[in-house]
Amino acid sequence: MSIFIISEIGINHNGDLELAKKMIQESKDCGADAVKFQKREVDLVYDKKLLDSFRESPWGKTQRAQKEGLEFNEENYIEIDRFCKKINIEWFASAWDIKSLEFLDKFKLNFHKIASAMIVDIELLNEVAKRKKHTFISTGMSNMEDIEKAVNIFRTHKCSFELMHCISKYPFDDKKANLNLINTLKDKFKCNVGYSGHERGGLAISYAAAALGISSLERHFTLNRTMYGSDQAASIEPKIFKELIGGVRKIELAISGDKNKKILEEEIPIAKKLRAHINVNK
């Protein structure tokens, strides 16, 4: 099974539809299987006190101005849907509330995503699972009990899913990656496990995750890490993303053997040459 590679555009588009379309095209050109966004109803996800508090941004001087500035509306998503279909790339989004989930119902998406922040929202988990679309469940900021509750909900609703090992720090230090959890999650929950990475722009950890047999790989994507945005520092640019995808595809080939040790056809003439001086019948 090929690793499903997701370009997490998230909110790195900064509310600019044309920038988002450039990011979608670049993701496609790099070889990604899908692009992913985030959808929130600002007044449902954040309380009024926080929204009224100060935050200087390109959109104003309040948290509300910043958070509303990052949200696409229905017209924007209609264009995103049209553009993704035109260039033949999947898109989906992580809904942070039920109203946003219902908004996404308007589009015939093949996937859902549970963000790490939302893995403890039992009502949202049930609503997503009821839709019976394959769902990627990120496991950052959670313990085994949280993950087990989520898994049970999706299995109760007979909804296809996979877990995604994730460290919710943007970016995090390499020593915090704890990739051993990938196999721990596989063994405990008997399901596919992917990796959602927020490391400091490098590729080694993602390559190591691929070598562990992950089913999906998600990395935050940007056209320029110096752009405004809280996720830019944990994102990778097109040149590096293309390198990552190429490396992952090579790793897939390298670990795709049948696990049986035998002499390969290509090795036979080499063996004859290098062992010519040995009397193998002794």
Asked whether the predicted pLDDT for residue 10 surpasses 70, the reply is yes
Question: What confidence category does residue 282 fall into, taking pLDDT thresholds of 50, 70 and 90?
Answer: low
Residue 199's DSSP bridge partners are 172
Rg of the chain (C-alpha set) = 22
Q: Would you state the pLDDT for residue 201? A: 63
Alpha carbon separation from 36 to 107, 200, 201, 254 (Å, rounded): 14, 20, 18, 28
pLDDT tens-place string over residues 136-170: 999 999 999 999 999 999 999 999 999 999 999 87
pLDDT tens-place string over residues 37-60: 999 999 999 999 999 999 999 999
| Torsion of the alpha carbons at 234, 51, 146 and 210, rounded to the nearest 10 | -20
Please list, residue by residue across 139-153, b when 16 or more beta carbons sit within 10 angstroms of its beta carbon and e when fewer do. Answer: bbbbeeeebeebbeb
- Domain that residue 189 falls in: 4-274
In a domain, 164, yes or no: yes
In a domain, 282, yes or no: no
In this predicted structure, which of 6-15, 56-65, 252-261 has the lowest mean pLDDT?
A: 252-261
CB 14 within 8 A of CB 70: yes
Q: Would you state the pLDDT for residue 173? A: 84
- Report d(CA 280, CA 165) in Å as an integer: 50
Q: How many Cβ atoms sit within 10 Å of the Cβ of residue 194?
A: 26
In a domain, 77, yes or no: yes
pTM: 0.94
Residue type, 170: Y
Residue 220 in 3-state DSSP? strand
Per-residue pLDDT averaged across 101-112, rounded? 97
| The total number of residues written for the chain in this structure | 282
Q: Would you state the pLDDT for residue 241? A: 97
**Average model confidence (pLDDT) for the chain?**
95
- Report d(CA 221, CA 239) in Å as an integer: 11
- Show the tokens assigned to 158: 């007979």
Q: Would you state the pLDDT for residue 46? A: 97
In a domain, 280, yes or no: no
Residue type, 149: K
In a domain, 194, yes or no: yes
Contacts of 174 (CB under 8 A, 6+ apart): 199, 200, 202, 204, 205
Report cis status (omega within 30 of 0) of the bond before 269: no
Per-residue pLDDT averaged across 123-128, rounded? 98
Question: What confidence category does residue 240 fall into, taking pLDDT thresholds of 50, 70 and 90?
Answer: very high
In a domain, 281, yes or no: no
| Torsion of the alpha carbons at 56, 62, 64 and 65, rounded to the nearest 10 | -60
Q: Would you state the pLDDT for residue 172? A: 83
Query: What 3 state SS string does 9-67 have?
Result: EECCCCCCHHHHHHHHHHHHHHCCCEEEEEECCHHHHCCHHHHHCEEEECCEEEHHHHH
CATH code for position 153:
3.20.20.70
In a domain, 23, yes or no: yes
CB 164 within 8 A of CB 189: no
In a domain, 279, yes or no: no
Percent of the chain with pLDDT over 70: 99
**Domain tally for the chain?**
1
